[in-house]
Amino acid sequence: MDIRNRFEQHGQGHVFQYWDDLGSDEKAGLLEQAEEIDLDELDRLIATLVKATEVHSEINYDSLEPALYERIPEDLENDVRWQAAKQAGETALRSGRVAAFTVAGGQGTRLGYDGPKGTFPISPIENKPLFQVFAEKIMAARRRFECDLPWYVMTSNVNHEATEAFFAENDFFGLGGGTVRFFRQGRMPAVDLEGRILMESKGAIAMSPDGHGGSMRALDRSGALSEMELKGIDLLSYFQVDNPHVQVVDPYFIGFHALSDTLMSSKMLPKAYEKEKLGHFCISGGRLEVVEYSDMPDSLTVLRDESGALKFIAGSIAIHIVSVDFVRKLTKEGSTLALPFHKALKKIPYLNASGELVRPTEPNGVKFETFVFDALPFAGEAVIVESTRLGDFSPVKNAEGVDSAKSCRADQQRLFAQWLMAEGVELELDEEGVPVHKLEVSPLFGYDAESFSESWKRLGESVDFSKDVYLS
């Protein structure tokens, strides 16, 4: 068979070693996986990322400069530029130019939760899953801007069926099934440290999602991109499934993008401390780059300017506006703008030479992933907009400690408390600034300070905050 020969020629013939032992379904499954692999691309990745002793970096750290960003003005209400951006963003929303876009194809290994991460319960009282929190924010935005605001959700083979089933079971959280579109990202084979494809069973290659950068190709391949073009959607509000704080559509941010010539914009937060694990927005060779925290030399991470502020202060929080035209450009047949693959050393269960499954305790293989922020150097003008931490970012990455469900629930309550206290409500807070009695605000009641304030004033009844309170 032709495909077996091809694998043989690329030194990966072992993939079909147990072919004769497989049933017809297993054979079909293995063939489907094998067909997805671009063996020439894989050879290149093995040579450059697995076997090469030195990984080549395009970045010259000696001439690296911090990227400039739009700072939140002290008097936001009266700042001409920020208000113009807000207006442009609202107009884009009202005229149906925007879609929400969530990347939810990851494996969520650090969280260690059984099921798609978006189904993880996260709100402090009602235990709403992440997907529901986003759905309610989208619903609130639809009402506010009187628009369709469709939602695109990228899944992967790991969680596609379970994600679709979850939305169906929950009646799409009231959004209407036709307005939420799921599509799968691509996958890549994992290889061992010599570059041999790892097998997870006799009939299955160890494959994993190709990184959030895979969203660009997947948007095109799935037909979602053409669908958007037909609907007149030209802006994607991109966010990750693990961050319930995100403003799913932020008029200021959308407006700054729409008023510029850039094809992709980003939100930033000033780093909370020198070695916070956020990518750094930098200018390298005149182009915007996100330099991962693990790649940034310590000397630059801690560098301060004359005023004592961190020089490389702008941290990436994985929130972007991406122009639909840009995705088209990146994915066009023959485009030279393909996102580069990175390698991740992982512990990958595999079938050993005697056909037994081994669960390694040390990293034994490499997964290949692309990152969406690697598109930024191709996007033209750098547009980076400052955000506030509670207003946009508290991700759920880990089972415990930093960026865990516990820290995220505490942050949600800090934010709700902030909104209430701005309305003159007195709340009892613990020494970490978290309300002593639990607090939750439905996004349908308020999803930012402004919408909350409006609902609060309309409520007109007194609320007893000496017990848990859910405002909906």
Interacting residues with ligand UTP (CB under 6 A)? 103-110, 117, 154, 156, 185, 209-212, 214, 240-242, 369, 397
DSSP 49-118: III-SS---S--GGG-EEPP-BPPPTTGGG-HHHHHHHHHHHHHHHTT-EEEEEE-----TTTT-SS-GG
Q: Shortest approach of ligand UTP to residue 111 CB, angstroms?
A: 6
Terminal CA-to-CA distance of the chain, rounded, Å? 61
Closest distance to ligand UTP from the beta carbon of 315 (Å): 15
Q: Which is nearer to ligand UTP, 92 or 188 (CB)?
A: 188
In the complex with ligand UTP, the residue whose CB is nearer, 103 or 383, is: 103
Residue nearest to ligand UTP (CB): 106
C-alpha dist (Å) from residue 239 to 62, 392, 430: 32, 10, 31
**Phi first, then psi: what are they for 208, rounded to 5°?**
-140, 160
Instruction: Compute the least distance from the CB of residue 319 to ligand UTP, in Å.
Output: 11
CB of 8 to ligand UTP, least distance (A): 29
DSSP string, 330-396: HHSTT-S-PPPEEEEEE---EE-TTS-EE--SS--EEEEEE-GGGGGGGSSS-EEEE--HHHH----
Return left, alpha or beta for 39; rule: phi > 0 is left, psi -120 to 50 is alpha, else beta.
alpha
In the DSSP assignment, the letter for residue 11 is T
- The nearer residue to ligand UTP, 105 or 315, going by C-beta atoms, is 105
Cβ-based nearer residue to ligand UTP, 129 or 435: 129
Give the tokens for residue 321: 């506006």
- If one counts every other C-beta atom within 10 angstroms of the C-beta of residue 386, the result is 17
Question: CB–CB of 275/331 below 8 Å?
Answer: no
Tokens of 226: 């053409």
Complex with ligand UTP: residue 71 or 347, whichever CB lies closer? 347
* Dihedral sign of CA atoms 275, 402, 254, 338 in order: positive
Q: Among residues 108 and 446, whose Cβ is nearest to ligand UTP?
A: 108
State the minimum distance, in angstroms, from the CB of residue 2 to ligand UTP: 29
User: Do 64 and 282 touch, CB atoms closer than 8 A?
Assistant: yes
3-state secondary structure of 130: helix
Minimum Å gap between C-beta 218 and ligand UTP is 9
H or E element, residue 301? helix 298-301
Please report how close the Cβ of residue 95 comes to ligand UTP at its closest, in angstroms: 28
Question: Which residue, 70 or 403, is less far from ligand UTP as judged by CB?
Answer: 403
Least separation in angstroms between CB 212 and ligand UTP = 4
Least distance to ligand UTP from the beta carbon of 342, Å? 11
Distance CA 26, CA 16 (A): 11
The two tokens of residue 204 are 């299955």
Q: At its nearest, how many Å lie between ligand UTP and the CB of residue 454?
A: 30
Q: Is 24 exposed, middle or buried (0-12, 13-18, 19+ CB in 10 A)?
A: exposed
Min dist CB 115 to ligand UTP, Å, is 13
Calculate Rg over the CA atoms of the chain.
Answer: 24
**Which residue, 326 or 373, is less far from ligand UTP as judged by CB?**
373
Nearer to ligand UTP, 156 or 247 (CB): 156
Cβ nearer to ligand UTP, comparing 131 with 253: 131
- Return the percent helix, strand and coil in the chain, to nearest 5: 35, 20, 40
Q: Rank residues 240 and 364 by Cβ distance to ligand UTP and give the closer one.
A: 240
